[in-house]
């Protein structure tokens, strides 16, 4: 006889069900009837629980384990009138409790049907579908890459007023800010004195000195120029020998090649002094110029320096140790004495720096006790000046060449 306490029949049944195996079965249990006595505050009750009788040994060999009858599990529950009774099915309260327990312990199972939803094939299709869907339906969230692709190719976000004026070719960004402060710029008929005002040239009406800027901004262009000696890296109109003047032929034929599109306002990325030749990047993209010229980019810049006199080991050691330039200690990445050539009798040095400070290479050579005869920049980042690009000529940069310069957009 087994004694069972009926104070919590649901917890007892739940623990009984969760067991992986039962301690008895009809095949091994020696008796056919189990008498249970439930002790509670009520008078003692007894139930006779019968199990399926075991099969003969001869039938078990032919039928196997599948032919054996299942164990009869009784459920002792309290009815509505308060009496205890024996039934073959689990009580409804137990089934409900087990279902709630399984739901709280496995909340991730609810997310499985969401994976079956088809993803949007393109950002434009998703954007159009979300626009046409009623507000009650939830709009699917786009990934960061999809939103960036949509903004770059389909939607131009509002930009600062000074940046829009500079991109439209009105003036440089600093000069554009001065025009805004002087009250010479109006946006939608109202004078705007804040350069940080966000505007959309395709929707907003912008006037500068009574002239309206075009709705369509010029495209972004990127050039590599082999700067000659005697040219200044300035876009001022008063400069007669500016680097930008080397693009006069390109800008004069702009309307024929790009009808209806405003001309870009070109400027140099960084500067080379008037006596230095070689590679310099010209563009109308302010973000690109800031990325390349900012010290955090740490782009290596390679120079070929022709010096006066002989170069010894002490000179190379002095250049490698660095010097103070504009109050900052500048140390080159590498210094190398190049082999002499028959057509160039002077000694040449290959110096690689990443600071990019004003006259940095000249100060390094001067601090070592040498005199610079000529200086030429031949590489910025991973882009090297083509050998067939003559002095004063320029070439338009491709996407792969922009990546070599460190531009990822």
| Positions marked active-site | 273
DSSP output for 180-238: HHTT-EEETTEE---TT-EE-TTTS-EEETTEEPPSSPPPP-EEEEEEPTT-BS---TT
- Distance (Å, rounded) from C-alpha 170 to C-alpha 197? 17
Do 217 and 201 meet the contact criterion of CB atoms below 8 Å apart?
yes
Buried b or exposed e, range 183-199, using 16+ CB within 10 angstroms: ebbbbeeeebeebebeb
- Residue 236, token pair as written in the block: 């001022």
- Residue 222, token pair as written in the block: 């990127």
Kind of pairing, strands 185-187 and 222-227?
unpaired
Q: How far is CA 106 from CA 103, 114, 288, in A?
A: 5, 16, 50
Helix axes 360-367, 313-321, angle to 10 degrees: 130
């Amino acid at each position: 006889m087994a004694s069972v306490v009926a104070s919590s029949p649901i917890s007892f049944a739940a623990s009984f069900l969760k067991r992986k195996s039962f301690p008895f079965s009809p095949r091994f249990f020696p008796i056919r009837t189990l008498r249970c006595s439930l002790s509670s505050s009520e008078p003692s009750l007894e139930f006779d629980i019968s199990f399926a009788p075991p099969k003969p040994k001869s039938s078990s060999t032919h039928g196997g384990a599948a032919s054996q009858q299942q164990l009869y599990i009784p459920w002792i529950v309290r009815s509505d009138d308060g009496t205890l009774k024996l039934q073959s099915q689990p009580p409804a309260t137990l089934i409900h409790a087990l279902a709630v327990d399984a739901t709280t312990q496995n909340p991730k199972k609810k997310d499985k049907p969401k994976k079956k939803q088809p993803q949007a094939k393109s950002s434009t299709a998703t954007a159009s579908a979300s626009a046409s869907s009623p507000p009650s339906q939830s709009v699917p969230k786009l990934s960061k890459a999809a939103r960036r692709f949509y903004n770059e190719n389909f939607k131009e976000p509002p930009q600062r007023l000074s940046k829009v004026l500079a991109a439209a070719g009105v003036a440089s960004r600093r000069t554009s800010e001065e025009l805004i402060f002087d009250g010479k710029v109006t946006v939608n008929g109202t004078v705007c004195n804040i350069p940080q005002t966000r505007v959309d040239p395709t929707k907003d009406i912008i006037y500068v000195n009574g002239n309206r800027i075009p709705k369509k901004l010029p495209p972004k262009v990127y050039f590599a120029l082999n700067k000659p000696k005697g040219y200044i890296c300035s876009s001022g109109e008063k400069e007669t020998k500016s680097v930008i003047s080397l693009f006069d032929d390109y800008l004069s034929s702009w309307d024929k090649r790009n009808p209806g599109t405003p001309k870009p306002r070109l400027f140099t990325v960084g500067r080379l002094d008037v006596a230095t030749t070689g590679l310099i990047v010209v563009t109308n993209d302010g973000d690109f110029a800031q990325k390349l010229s900012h010290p955090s980019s740490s782009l290596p810049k390679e120079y070929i320096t022709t010096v006066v006199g002989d170069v010894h080991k002490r000179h190379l050691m002095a250049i490698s140790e660095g010097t103070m330039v504009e109050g900052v200690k500048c140390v080159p990445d590498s210094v190398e004495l190049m082999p002499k050539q028959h057509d160039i009798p002077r000694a040449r040095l290959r110096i690689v720096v990443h600071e990019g400070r004003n006259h940095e290479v000249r100060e390094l050579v001067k601090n070592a006790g040498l005199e610079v005869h000529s200086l030429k920049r031949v590489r910025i980042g991973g882009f090297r000046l083509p050998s067939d690009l003559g002095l004063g000529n320029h070439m338009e940069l491709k996407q792969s060449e922009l990546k070599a310069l460190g531009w990822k957009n």
